[in-house]
Amino acid sequence: MARIQYTTYRFNRPNELRREDFEILKEVLSTNPEHSINPSSSFIETFKTELMFLCAAFVGLLILSFDIEILNWIGGIAAFLGFGMLLSFIPSALSYLGFLSEKSTYYSRLKKDILKSSDYLDFQNNRTKRR
């Protein structure tokens, strides 16, 4: 029986901010409220290999449209490998999008709590209420 292997992504909340980190972020966000504290994540960088395979599969499907025997073999192999990659790419990509959503929500709430807080103690109280 064939198995489809894919990667699942989960967002692990970082440890609570220390007082020093809070004060630095509070100062940065006070001067520039549009500053993003969410570490960057790249869908394209994460799935670079899979996307290249899918492009190769697309090229393989185009090659299949030609009526040349040897090209049909090459195109068929590329399309077959690409289809196999697609079966593992879709669940992994959906899992990664869920990870990005959770991460974005966490950091937007963190930013909101930092901006709303007057000091570190107030920040901790706001974070406790949110849980």
pLDDT, tens digit, for every residue of 54-78? 887 777 777 766 666 766 667 677 6
Domain edges within the chain: 54-131
Enter the pTM of the model. 0.77
Query: Could you tell me the CA-to-CA distances from 30 to 21, 22, 23 in Å, in that order?
Result: 14, 12, 10
**CB-based contacts of 76, cutoff 8 Å, min separation 6:** 60, 64
Of the chain, the end-to-end C-alpha distance in Å amounts to 44
- Contact at 8 Å (CB) between 93 and 44? no
More confident residue, 73 or 44: 44
Cβ-count burial 52-86 (b if 16+ within 10 Å, e if not): ebbebbeebeebbeeeeeeeeeebeebbeebeebe
103 pLDDT band (50/70/90 cuts)?
very high
105-122 mean pLDDT: 93
